[in-house]
Amino acid sequence: MKFDELMQARRSVRKYQPKAVEPEKLQALIEAVRMAPSASNSQPWKLILVDDPAIRQQVARATFDKILSFNQFAMEAPVIAVLAVEKHSLLTQVAGWLKDRPFYLIDIGIAAEQFCLQATELGLGTCMLGYFDEDEIKKILKIPRAIRVALVITVGYEAENQPIHAKVRKAADGMSSRNRY
């Protein structure tokens, strides 16, 4: 698939088939994150793939609550990926502090997008979730207290016959410029 086709095909999937994701595809997703670039090559992430049904259900339940229930579709996903922030290099920490720029979050974003693009190429759907109970996920997955959970991504085969919503994007001239703001 050409890159422009891949970008067009990648979208947030919120309905999944009850079909397991093959181990070789999970390994390709791991490799996509492993190869992601990062500030000073610090690779400040730990990718946790959750496919054990009991654990996956617990993690899925931690992505919504009674008031904000928009992530309930996570219960259907056969795999949930959790990206945790590992310690980044001292150089990156100092540079981030001096420039007031959280490089580790930029790095996590790059790794997450590589994960999602790789999934799309493999015929899998994904949805990045920013709303979740971090403390509960850390407890379920035995993540050390000092480690932050940055992002949760649902993964699986998209349910058939899902309507494709038109991607409403800003016009190029509304989101870009040349030589000045």
Select from 162, 137, 167 the least CA-distant residue to 60: 137
Query: What is the mean predicted confidence (pLDDT) over 128-137?
Result: 97
Burial grade of 89 (CB within 10 A; 0-12, 13-18, 19 or more): middle
97 pLDDT more than 70: yes
Query: What is the SS3 assignment for 127?
Result: strand
Does the pLDDT value for residue 161 go beyond 80? no
CB atoms within 10 A of CB 37: 11
**Domains (range + CATH), the chain:** 3-160 (3.40.109.10)
Say which range, 22-26, 74-78, 96-100, 125-129, has the weakest mean pLDDT: 96-100
- Predicted confidence at residue 166, as pLDDT, reads 66
Q: Specify the pLDDT at position 50.
A: 98
Q: What is the pTM of this model?
A: 0.91
Q: What is the pLDDT of residue 164?
A: 72
Cα 35 versus chain centre, distance:
15
Q: Sign of the C-alpha dihedral, residues 11, 64, 87, 26?
A: negative
